[in-house]
Structure 1
Amino acid sequence: MLRRLWRALSAVAFLIVVVAGAGLALSITRYADQTSSASADAAMVLGAAVANRTPTPVFEERLRHAAGLYHAGRVRLVVVTGGRGPGDALSEGEAGRDWLIAHGVTAADIAVETRSRTTIQNLRFSLPILEARGVRTVLLVSDPLHMRRSTIIARRLGLTVEPSPTRTSRYRTWRTQAPFVARETWFLAQYLSTGL
Protein backbone atom coordinates (compact mmCIF):
# COMPACT_ATOMS: atom_id res chain seq x y z
CA MET A 1 0.00 0.00 0.00
CA LEU A 2 2.74 2.45 0.99
CA ARG A 3 4.78 1.44 -2.06
CA ARG A 4 1.80 2.07 -4.35
CA LEU A 5 1.24 5.49 -2.80
CA TRP A 6 4.93 6.35 -3.22
CA ARG A 7 4.79 5.36 -6.92
CA ALA A 8 1.66 7.44 -7.46
CA LEU A 9 3.22 10.48 -5.80
CA SER A 10 6.41 10.00 -7.82
CA ALA A 11 4.39 9.81 -11.04
CA VAL A 12 2.49 12.98 -10.14
CA ALA A 13 5.72 14.80 -9.26
CA PHE A 14 7.27 13.68 -12.55
CA LEU A 15 4.24 14.93 -14.50
CA ILE A 16 4.39 18.29 -12.71
CA VAL A 17 8.06 18.67 -13.64
CA VAL A 18 7.37 17.73 -17.27
CA VAL A 19 4.40 20.11 -17.58
CA ALA A 20 6.31 22.94 -15.87
CA GLY A 21 9.32 22.37 -18.14
CA ALA A 22 7.13 22.31 -21.23
CA GLY A 23 5.47 25.54 -20.07
CA LEU A 24 8.83 27.25 -19.63
CA ALA A 25 10.03 26.00 -23.02
CA LEU A 26 6.86 27.31 -24.64
CA SER A 27 7.25 30.70 -22.96
CA ILE A 28 10.86 30.88 -24.21
CA THR A 29 9.91 30.12 -27.82
CA ARG A 30 6.90 32.46 -27.80
CA TYR A 31 8.88 35.32 -26.26
CA ALA A 32 11.57 34.93 -28.93
CA ASP A 33 9.28 36.78 -31.34
CA GLN A 34 8.82 39.77 -29.00
CA THR A 35 10.71 42.85 -30.08
CA SER A 36 10.35 46.45 -29.05
CA SER A 37 10.12 49.30 -31.54
CA ALA A 38 10.88 51.82 -28.78
CA SER A 39 13.97 53.93 -28.38
CA ALA A 40 16.04 53.78 -25.18
CA ASP A 41 19.06 55.33 -23.53
CA ALA A 42 21.23 52.31 -24.30
CA ALA A 43 21.46 48.99 -26.05
CA MET A 44 23.03 46.31 -23.90
CA VAL A 45 24.72 43.49 -25.79
CA LEU A 46 25.00 40.27 -23.81
CA GLY A 47 28.34 38.59 -24.43
CA ALA A 48 28.72 35.32 -26.31
CA ALA A 49 32.30 34.31 -27.06
CA VAL A 50 35.53 35.47 -28.67
CA ALA A 51 37.91 33.47 -30.85
CA ASN A 52 41.34 34.87 -31.69
CA ARG A 53 40.40 38.38 -30.54
CA THR A 54 37.33 38.29 -32.81
CA PRO A 55 33.67 37.95 -31.86
CA THR A 56 32.20 34.57 -32.78
CA PRO A 57 29.39 34.61 -35.38
CA VAL A 58 26.72 34.52 -32.64
CA PHE A 59 28.31 37.45 -30.80
CA GLU A 60 28.86 39.33 -34.08
CA GLU A 61 25.14 39.13 -34.91
CA ARG A 62 24.36 40.69 -31.54
CA LEU A 63 26.87 43.47 -32.14
CA ARG A 64 25.55 44.07 -35.67
CA HIS A 65 22.03 44.42 -34.28
CA ALA A 66 23.15 46.89 -31.58
CA ALA A 67 25.10 48.92 -34.17
CA GLY A 68 21.93 49.09 -36.25
CA LEU A 69 19.98 50.44 -33.27
CA TYR A 70 22.70 53.05 -32.68
CA HIS A 71 22.91 54.16 -36.33
CA ALA A 72 19.10 54.37 -36.50
CA GLY A 73 19.20 56.81 -33.56
CA ARG A 74 17.23 54.52 -31.26
CA VAL A 75 19.99 54.45 -28.60
CA ARG A 76 22.74 56.89 -27.65
CA LEU A 77 24.99 54.34 -25.95
CA VAL A 78 25.96 50.71 -26.55
CA VAL A 79 27.01 48.67 -23.52
CA VAL A 80 28.96 45.53 -24.38
CA THR A 81 29.27 42.84 -21.73
CA GLY A 82 31.45 39.80 -21.23
CA GLY A 83 34.65 38.78 -19.56
CA ARG A 84 37.66 36.85 -20.73
CA GLY A 85 37.42 33.11 -21.34
CA PRO A 86 40.31 30.69 -20.78
CA GLY A 87 43.10 31.47 -23.20
CA ASP A 88 41.41 34.57 -24.64
CA ALA A 89 43.62 37.60 -25.23
CA LEU A 90 40.64 39.98 -25.05
CA SER A 91 37.45 39.99 -23.05
CA GLU A 92 34.16 39.74 -24.90
CA GLY A 93 33.47 43.35 -23.93
CA GLU A 94 36.76 44.58 -25.41
CA ALA A 95 36.41 42.55 -28.60
CA GLY A 96 32.84 43.81 -28.96
CA ARG A 97 33.96 47.41 -28.47
CA ASP A 98 36.61 47.03 -31.18
CA TRP A 99 34.06 45.50 -33.58
CA LEU A 100 31.59 48.35 -32.96
CA ILE A 101 34.24 51.03 -33.52
CA ALA A 102 35.23 49.31 -36.78
CA HIS A 103 31.57 49.49 -37.80
CA GLY A 104 31.07 53.18 -37.20
CA VAL A 105 30.01 53.45 -33.57
CA THR A 106 31.76 56.37 -31.85
CA ALA A 107 34.13 55.14 -29.12
CA ALA A 108 32.71 57.61 -26.60
CA ASP A 109 29.28 56.06 -27.14
CA ILE A 110 30.44 52.60 -26.08
CA ALA A 111 30.70 51.32 -22.50
CA VAL A 112 32.38 48.04 -21.70
CA GLU A 113 31.90 45.49 -18.93
CA THR A 114 34.78 42.99 -18.84
CA ARG A 115 34.39 40.72 -15.77
CA SER A 116 31.23 38.68 -16.35
CA ARG A 117 31.04 35.05 -17.43
CA THR A 118 27.29 34.40 -17.17
CA THR A 119 24.07 36.14 -18.17
CA ILE A 120 23.33 37.11 -14.58
CA GLN A 121 26.81 38.60 -14.23
CA ASN A 122 26.50 40.39 -17.61
CA LEU A 123 23.51 42.23 -16.21
CA ARG A 124 24.55 42.65 -12.57
CA PHE A 125 28.09 43.86 -13.32
CA SER A 126 26.70 46.39 -15.82
CA LEU A 127 24.51 48.15 -13.24
CA PRO A 128 27.26 50.57 -12.04
CA ILE A 129 28.14 51.37 -15.66
CA LEU A 130 24.53 52.20 -16.49
CA GLU A 131 24.19 54.36 -13.40
CA ALA A 132 27.42 56.23 -14.14
CA ARG A 133 26.26 56.96 -17.70
CA GLY A 134 22.78 58.08 -16.62
CA VAL A 135 21.03 55.21 -18.37
CA ARG A 136 17.42 54.66 -17.33
CA THR A 137 16.05 52.59 -20.21
CA VAL A 138 17.69 49.69 -22.04
CA LEU A 139 17.09 47.69 -25.19
CA LEU A 140 18.42 44.24 -24.38
CA VAL A 141 20.22 42.58 -27.31
CA SER A 142 20.76 38.85 -27.55
CA ASP A 143 19.61 35.83 -29.52
CA PRO A 144 15.81 35.45 -29.69
CA LEU A 145 15.75 32.27 -27.58
CA HIS A 146 17.91 33.92 -24.92
CA MET A 147 15.57 36.89 -24.49
CA ARG A 148 13.03 35.42 -22.06
CA ARG A 149 15.54 34.52 -19.36
CA SER A 150 17.71 37.59 -19.78
CA THR A 151 14.72 39.95 -19.69
CA ILE A 152 13.36 38.32 -16.52
CA ILE A 153 16.76 38.61 -14.82
CA ALA A 154 17.21 42.23 -15.93
CA ARG A 155 13.80 43.27 -14.63
CA ARG A 156 14.38 41.52 -11.31
CA LEU A 157 17.61 43.50 -11.00
CA GLY A 158 15.54 46.68 -11.34
CA LEU A 159 16.37 47.55 -14.94
CA THR A 160 13.79 49.07 -17.26
CA VAL A 161 14.38 46.89 -20.30
CA GLU A 162 12.65 45.98 -23.53
CA PRO A 163 13.63 43.01 -25.71
CA SER A 164 15.50 43.65 -28.94
CA PRO A 165 16.53 40.22 -30.22
CA THR A 166 18.78 39.81 -33.22
CA ARG A 167 16.86 39.51 -36.47
CA THR A 168 19.19 36.80 -37.67
CA SER A 169 20.52 33.91 -35.66
CA ARG A 170 22.81 30.93 -36.13
CA TYR A 171 20.02 28.92 -34.50
CA ARG A 172 17.59 28.72 -37.43
CA THR A 173 16.58 25.08 -37.69
CA TRP A 174 14.78 22.93 -35.13
CA ARG A 175 17.95 20.81 -34.95
CA THR A 176 19.99 23.77 -33.72
CA GLN A 177 17.18 25.41 -31.76
CA ALA A 178 16.15 22.36 -29.71
CA PRO A 179 19.38 22.17 -27.66
CA PHE A 180 19.26 25.95 -27.15
CA VAL A 181 15.65 25.78 -25.90
CA ALA A 182 16.50 22.85 -23.61
CA ARG A 183 19.47 24.72 -22.14
CA GLU A 184 17.47 27.93 -21.68
CA THR A 185 14.62 25.99 -20.05
CA TRP A 186 17.04 24.45 -17.56
CA PHE A 187 18.74 27.76 -16.76
CA LEU A 188 15.44 29.62 -16.47
CA ALA A 189 14.01 26.97 -14.13
CA GLN A 190 17.19 27.14 -12.07
CA TYR A 191 17.04 30.93 -11.89
CA LEU A 192 13.36 31.02 -10.95
CA SER A 193 13.85 28.44 -8.21
CA THR A 194 17.22 29.55 -6.79
CA GLY A 195 17.97 33.03 -8.13
CA LEU A 196 21.24 31.74 -9.58
Structure 2
Amino acid sequence: MKNRKRVFLLLGLLITLGLIYIGILQFKISQYSHNEVPKNADYLIVLGARVKGTVPSLALASRINSAAEYLKKNKETIVITSGGKGPGEDISEAESIRRKLVEQGISESRIILEDQSTDTYENIKFSKRLIPTGAKLGLVVTNTFHVYRGVSIARDYGLEVHGLPAATPWSAVIKSYSREYLAITKFYLKRYILD
Protein backbone atom coordinates (compact mmCIF):
# COMPACT_ATOMS: atom_id res chain seq x y z
CA MET A 1 0.00 0.00 0.00
CA LYS A 2 2.83 2.36 0.96
CA ASN A 3 4.70 1.53 -2.25
CA ARG A 4 1.63 2.30 -4.35
CA LYS A 5 1.22 5.63 -2.56
CA ARG A 6 4.87 6.49 -3.27
CA VAL A 7 4.44 5.64 -6.95
CA PHE A 8 1.39 7.93 -7.20
CA LEU A 9 3.24 10.70 -5.38
CA LEU A 10 6.22 10.33 -7.70
CA LEU A 11 3.98 10.31 -10.78
CA GLY A 12 2.16 13.39 -9.49
CA LEU A 13 5.48 15.16 -8.90
CA LEU A 14 6.76 14.28 -12.39
CA ILE A 15 3.53 15.45 -14.04
CA THR A 16 3.63 18.70 -12.04
CA LEU A 17 7.28 19.34 -12.99
CA GLY A 18 6.46 18.51 -16.63
CA LEU A 19 3.59 21.01 -16.69
CA ILE A 20 5.78 23.69 -15.07
CA TYR A 21 8.50 23.04 -17.69
CA ILE A 22 5.99 23.29 -20.56
CA GLY A 23 4.63 26.48 -18.99
CA ILE A 24 8.13 28.01 -18.96
CA LEU A 25 8.70 27.03 -22.60
CA GLN A 26 5.33 28.47 -23.59
CA PHE A 27 6.20 31.72 -21.81
CA LYS A 28 9.49 31.94 -23.76
CA ILE A 29 7.75 31.20 -27.07
CA SER A 30 5.09 33.81 -26.36
CA GLN A 31 7.65 36.40 -25.22
CA TYR A 32 9.75 36.10 -28.38
CA SER A 33 6.75 36.11 -30.72
CA HIS A 34 5.46 39.39 -29.22
CA ASN A 35 8.70 41.40 -29.16
CA GLU A 36 8.81 44.64 -31.11
CA VAL A 37 10.16 44.16 -34.64
CA PRO A 38 12.86 46.71 -35.59
CA LYS A 39 12.45 48.66 -38.82
CA ASN A 40 15.05 48.86 -41.60
CA ALA A 41 16.79 45.57 -40.84
CA ASP A 42 19.71 44.87 -43.16
CA TYR A 43 18.45 41.38 -43.99
CA LEU A 44 15.74 38.80 -43.38
CA ILE A 45 16.26 35.05 -43.19
CA VAL A 46 13.03 33.24 -44.06
CA LEU A 47 13.26 29.76 -42.56
CA GLY A 48 12.02 26.97 -44.79
CA ALA A 49 9.06 24.68 -44.12
CA ARG A 50 7.28 21.96 -46.06
CA VAL A 51 6.44 22.43 -49.73
CA LYS A 52 3.81 20.22 -51.36
CA GLY A 53 5.15 19.75 -54.87
CA THR A 54 5.79 23.43 -55.61
CA VAL A 55 3.13 24.89 -53.29
CA PRO A 56 4.14 26.21 -49.86
CA SER A 57 2.42 24.62 -46.87
CA LEU A 58 0.15 26.91 -44.85
CA ALA A 59 2.95 27.48 -42.31
CA LEU A 60 5.43 28.45 -45.02
CA ALA A 61 2.89 30.65 -46.83
CA SER A 62 2.39 32.55 -43.59
CA ARG A 63 6.17 33.14 -43.31
CA ILE A 64 6.31 34.34 -46.91
CA ASN A 65 3.45 36.78 -46.37
CA SER A 66 5.09 38.26 -43.25
CA ALA A 67 8.40 38.64 -45.10
CA ALA A 68 6.74 40.27 -48.13
CA GLU A 69 4.83 42.72 -45.95
CA TYR A 70 8.06 43.75 -44.18
CA LEU A 71 10.05 44.02 -47.41
CA LYS A 72 7.44 46.30 -48.99
CA LYS A 73 7.72 48.70 -46.05
CA ASN A 74 11.52 48.49 -45.73
CA LYS A 75 12.88 48.98 -49.24
CA GLU A 76 16.60 48.55 -48.42
CA THR A 77 16.23 45.19 -46.66
CA ILE A 78 17.40 42.11 -48.56
CA VAL A 79 16.06 38.61 -47.96
CA ILE A 80 17.70 35.19 -47.77
CA THR A 81 15.25 32.42 -48.58
CA SER A 82 16.35 29.25 -46.84
CA GLY A 83 15.56 25.57 -47.21
CA GLY A 84 16.58 22.62 -49.35
CA LYS A 85 14.50 20.10 -51.29
CA GLY A 86 13.01 17.29 -49.22
CA PRO A 87 10.78 14.27 -49.88
CA GLY A 88 7.60 15.16 -51.78
CA GLU A 89 9.03 18.52 -52.81
CA ASP A 90 9.50 19.23 -56.53
CA ILE A 91 11.53 22.37 -55.84
CA SER A 92 13.56 23.58 -52.87
CA GLU A 93 11.81 25.42 -50.07
CA ALA A 94 14.06 28.41 -50.82
CA GLU A 95 12.89 28.46 -54.45
CA SER A 96 9.24 28.19 -53.42
CA ILE A 97 9.72 31.17 -51.08
CA ARG A 98 11.50 33.14 -53.83
CA ARG A 99 8.71 32.54 -56.37
CA LYS A 100 5.99 33.67 -53.98
CA LEU A 101 7.93 36.79 -52.94
CA VAL A 102 8.38 37.74 -56.59
CA GLU A 103 4.63 37.18 -57.15
CA GLN A 104 4.03 39.69 -54.34
CA GLY A 105 6.17 42.31 -56.04
CA ILE A 106 9.55 41.80 -54.35
CA SER A 107 12.42 42.42 -56.78
CA GLU A 108 14.62 39.40 -57.51
CA SER A 109 17.65 41.63 -56.96
CA ARG A 110 16.78 41.66 -53.23
CA ILE A 111 16.51 37.87 -52.93
CA ILE A 112 19.38 35.48 -52.11
CA LEU A 113 18.77 31.70 -52.27
CA GLU A 114 20.08 29.24 -49.69
CA ASP A 115 18.77 25.93 -51.01
CA GLN A 116 20.91 23.26 -49.31
CA SER A 117 19.77 23.24 -45.67
CA THR A 118 17.74 20.45 -44.09
CA ASP A 119 16.90 21.83 -40.62
CA THR A 120 16.84 25.06 -38.59
CA TYR A 121 20.51 24.80 -37.62
CA GLU A 122 21.56 24.52 -41.27
CA ASN A 123 19.07 27.24 -42.30
CA ILE A 124 21.00 29.63 -40.06
CA LYS A 125 24.50 28.25 -40.62
CA PHE A 126 24.27 28.27 -44.43
CA SER A 127 22.39 31.59 -44.57
CA LYS A 128 25.08 33.25 -42.45
CA ARG A 129 27.58 32.65 -45.28
CA LEU A 130 25.35 34.60 -47.68
CA ILE A 131 24.80 37.70 -45.56
CA PRO A 132 26.28 40.68 -47.45
CA THR A 133 29.41 42.26 -46.00
CA GLY A 134 28.54 45.13 -43.71
CA ALA A 135 25.03 43.88 -42.94
CA LYS A 136 24.51 43.82 -39.19
CA LEU A 137 20.89 43.72 -38.04
CA GLY A 138 18.82 40.77 -39.20
CA LEU A 139 15.38 39.28 -38.69
CA VAL A 140 14.54 35.59 -38.56
CA VAL A 141 11.15 35.04 -40.20
CA THR A 142 9.21 32.04 -38.95
CA ASN A 143 5.93 31.04 -37.32
CA THR A 144 5.11 32.19 -33.78
CA PHE A 145 5.84 28.79 -32.23
CA HIS A 146 9.31 28.70 -33.83
CA VAL A 147 10.61 32.27 -33.28
CA TYR A 148 12.23 31.62 -29.88
CA ARG A 149 14.30 28.66 -31.10
CA GLY A 150 15.10 30.22 -34.48
CA VAL A 151 16.38 33.46 -32.92
CA SER A 152 18.27 31.57 -30.18
CA ILE A 153 20.08 29.40 -32.73
CA ALA A 154 20.95 32.45 -34.85
CA ARG A 155 22.35 34.27 -31.83
CA ASP A 156 24.40 31.17 -30.96
CA TYR A 157 25.92 31.55 -34.46
CA GLY A 158 26.90 35.12 -33.57
CA LEU A 159 24.18 36.93 -35.53
CA GLU A 160 22.52 40.11 -34.27
CA VAL A 161 18.91 39.17 -34.92
CA HIS A 162 15.32 39.60 -33.79
CA GLY A 163 12.26 37.60 -34.74
CA LEU A 164 9.65 38.51 -37.34
CA PRO A 165 6.71 36.29 -36.35
CA ALA A 166 4.27 34.83 -38.83
CA ALA A 167 0.90 33.47 -37.73
CA THR A 168 0.72 29.74 -37.01
CA PRO A 169 -2.18 28.16 -38.95
CA TRP A 170 -4.93 27.05 -36.55
CA SER A 171 -5.00 23.58 -38.08
CA ALA A 172 -1.34 23.10 -37.10
CA VAL A 173 -1.28 24.68 -33.61
CA ILE A 174 -1.40 21.54 -31.42
CA LYS A 175 0.99 19.53 -33.58
CA SER A 176 3.41 22.45 -34.08
CA TYR A 177 3.64 23.45 -30.42
CA SER A 178 3.92 19.84 -29.19
CA ARG A 179 6.79 19.18 -31.59
CA GLU A 180 8.41 22.50 -30.70
CA TYR A 181 8.53 21.68 -26.96
CA LEU A 182 10.54 18.58 -27.87
CA ALA A 183 12.72 20.51 -30.32
CA ILE A 184 13.52 23.18 -27.70
CA THR A 185 14.40 20.45 -25.19
CA LYS A 186 16.79 18.95 -27.75
CA PHE A 187 18.21 22.45 -28.36
CA TYR A 188 18.85 22.89 -24.62
CA LEU A 189 20.51 19.48 -24.38
CA LYS A 190 22.73 20.26 -27.36
CA ARG A 191 23.61 23.73 -26.07
CA TYR A 192 24.21 23.00 -22.38
CA ILE A 193 25.03 19.30 -22.06
CA LEU A 194 26.15 17.64 -25.29
CA ASP A 195 28.49 20.41 -26.54
**One-letter identity of the residue aligned with 2:169:** Y
- Structure 2 counterpart of 1:161: 161
**One-letter identity of the residue aligned with 1:26:** F
Tell me if 1:116 matches 2:117.
Answer: yes
**One-letter identity of the residue aligned with 1:105:** I
- Structure 2 counterpart of 1:138: 138
Output the CA distance in 2 between the equivalents of 1:5 and 1:177: 36
* Distance apart, 1:6 and its partner CA: 10
Output the CA distance in 1 between the equivalents of 2:23 and 2:77: 38
* Distance apart, 1:24 and its partner CA: 1.4
Normalization by structure 1: what TM-score? Answer: 0.83
Cα separation, partners in 2 of 1:170 and 1:191, compared to 1, 3 Å: closer
Cα separation, partners in 2 of 1:19 and 1:57, compared to 1, 3 Å: closer
Asked whether the 8 Å contact 2:43–2:79 carries over to 1, the reply is yes
Q: Map 1:87-126; keep pairs closer than 5 Å.
A: 87-126=88-127
Tell me if 1:177 matches 2:168.
Answer: no
Cα separation, partners in 2 of 1:102 and 1:186, compared to 1, 3 Å: same
**One-letter identity of the residue aligned with 2:143:** D
Cα separation, partners in 2 of 1:9 and 1:87, compared to 1, 3 Å: closer
* Distance apart, 1:152 and its partner CA: 0.8
Query: What stretches of structure 1 move > 3 A for 4+ residues in a row?
Result: 4-18
Output the CA distance in 2 between the equivalents of 1:7 and 1:61: 44
* Distance apart, 1:53 and its partner CA: 1.4
How many correspondences in the alignment?
Answer: 191
Q: Paired residue for 1:186, among 170, 182, 188? A: 182
* Distance apart, 1:8 and its partner CA: 7.8
Gaps of at least 5 residues in structure 1 are none
Task: For residues 118-144 of structure 1, give each alpha carbon's deviation from its aligned partner in whole angstroms, at most 9, with x where no partner exists.
Answer: 1111111111101x4542211111111
Gaps of at least 5 residues in structure 2 are none
Output the CA distance in 2 between the equivalents of 1:86 and 1:127: 25
Give the percent of matched residue pairs that are identical in Structure 1 and Structure 2. 26
Normalization by structure 2: what TM-score? Answer: 0.83
Cα separation, partners in 2 of 1:57 and 1:139, compared to 1, 3 Å: same
